[in-house]
Amino acid sequence: MSDRQLLLGIDIGTTSVKVCVVDSETKEVIASQQKDTQANVPSDLGTEGNKQDVPKIISAFTACVSRLPKDLLRQVVRIGICGQMHGVMLWNDDGEESRAWSRIEREDNTFIRYDIPREKVSALYTWQDSRCEPSFLATLPKPQSHLKTYTGYGCATLFWMVKNKPSKLEKYNCAGTIQDFVVAMLGNLSKPIMSSQNAASWGYFNCTLSDWNNEILSEADFPVRLLPKVVENGQIVAHLAECWYGIPIGTPIGVALGDWQCSVLATIENISDAILNISTSAQLGFVSENFQPPSDEEEISGDQPTNAVEYLPYFNGKYVIVGASLNGGNCLAAFVKMVQQWCLDLGFSVPQSTLWTKLIGLASEDNAVSTLRVTPTLLGERSKPEQNASVQNIDLSNLGLGQMFRALCRSLIENLHKLLPKELLIESNIQRIVGNGSGLSRNKVLQKEVQDIYQLPLIFTSGGDAARGAALAVAPEQ
């Protein structure tokens, strides 16, 4: 077989990592691997904190790459990386002799894996972190940006550390998303480099100027020394420092990107497509041909209606309009886990996979439609972090398990509809919804509710996922 130009795509998600090899000419995935990270660690703030173990994430990600066919890896010409947005991790880099990572080798100097000393890195504080309560956020300066800053956003978390754990910040001289850290590790960079997609997801980033709100942050005693340099989405920022599982040394590496934008890039086929992703959380959005953030400083207030959609940096100067909910597959998973625990309390052990199959089957029956009303915001929402979940209109006729699961599925889509209503899709000439994410593709009940509420065709394409999108984002021009 003659050599092809192959691309390696990497997606470091909230619960799992996925890697794939993409043919740069056909855009097809020809090999892939996926692995759960199991990286969540207890937080000293209890349920208000959400942290993940960085070495575990790196271990899962490198294990996936190591399982890809070596004959394909030798043909990789570029590496694209994306990951979960908003989160922040810290690390210390003392120069070439003391990086936050080290290369573990065999006696013959062949590569085994990267080692991440825990004393060199902090935990990853994820987008699900809720330590920044509304009262704390109210004390922060107003950003000069068309985007708001919420709890779980990198800059908000760093502001919280300035006030509550300043000694922790003093230990480190670098900060970035987990995907920024991976780019720095593979390229042996002394300082992280960030895309405008990830910078915008941190807050306090002016998309028009493509720069941080440095003056505002400095006046508020924010550690601006930790903010990464920001470059254009899709730009090559590093080269593979060493031969890595057969991938040649010097292979170009793109700046790390947002997983949502990469999911859109991999999935969209027409400008009239909207993309619906339901995995851990839920997002519905589409690419705007016309939106540009305000250029006049007086117009950039960061103020938006409570239920407003957001306009996030995409590629080639475009923006993607998105309604993003914190509540998606995580809520359904919590419900399944609750039912499983009830079974255990009654003396029966039922695997979660069995429960998922049974619940979807029960909820698909005609008699599962009921008058139950569910508020599914188990994790709150960014604009209403204090909001809880609830069930209303319970009576003797709607106590069935299938009825409850059906109502929960419907409520998740109704909640998303409040963020991005079908009227906006119609106004934007959206013709169909393209589904993505395991939480949606495996759940025909959710699929039916999407079509009922949005009154648009829901289809699934062979395209994709964020890992494929990350690869496509760095594809050489043909």
- Per DSSP, the residues of 171-231 read T-SEEE-HHHHHHHHHHT-SS-EEEHHHHHHHSSEETTTTEE-HHHHHHTT--GGGPPEEE
126 to 163, 239, 348: CA distances (angstroms): 19, 27, 35
Same domain, 133 and 224: yes
Q: Is residue 478 part of a domain?
A: no
In a domain, 326, yes or no: yes
Are residues 254 and 320 located together in one domain of the fold?
no
Asked if 27 and 128 sit in the same domain, the reply is yes
Domain that holds residue 44: 6-261+467-473
Distance from the Cα of residue 203 to its chain's centroid: 15
Stretches in the chain below the pLDDT threshold 50: 1, 298, 302-307
Q: Are residues 150 and 185 in the same domain?
A: yes
pLDDT on residue 180: 98
Question: Is the domain of 397 the same as that of 292?
Answer: yes
In a domain, 390, yes or no: yes
Q: Are residues 293 and 170 in the same domain?
A: no
Which tokens belong to 136? 């704390």
Q: What's the CA gap between 91 and 122, in Å, rounded?
A: 6
- The C-alpha atoms of residue 471 and residue 32 are separated, in whole angstroms, by 12
Are residues 249 and 321 both part of a single domain?
no
Q: Which two tokens stand for residue 457?
A: 């065709």
**Is residue 266 domain-resident?**
no
- Residue 128 in domain: yes
The pLDDT mean for the chain works out to 91
Could you write out the DSSP letters of every residue in 83-148?
A: E-SS-BEEE---STTS-S-EEEE-TT--EEEEE--GGGB--EE-TT---S-HHHHTTSPPPSSSS-
pLDDT for position 304: 44
In a domain, 142, yes or no: yes
> Given this model, what pLDDT does residue 247 score?
94
Same domain flag for 173 and 57: yes
Q: Tell me, yes or no, whether 1 lies in a domain.
A: no
Same domain, 287 and 235: no
According to the model, what pLDDT value does residue 302 have? 46
**Residue 169 sits in the same domain as residue 316:** no
Does 54 share its domain with 116? yes
Beta-strand ranges (E) seen in 233-291 are 236-239, 252-254, 257-258, 273-278, 282-288
Residue 91 belongs to domain with CATH number: 3.30.420.40
- pLDDT tens figures, 34-90: 999 999 998 878 778 899 999 999 999 999 999 999 999 999 999 999 999 999 999
Asked if 39 and 188 sit in the same domain, the reply is yes
Q: How many independent structural domains does the chain possess? A: 2
* Residue 118 maps to a domain: yes
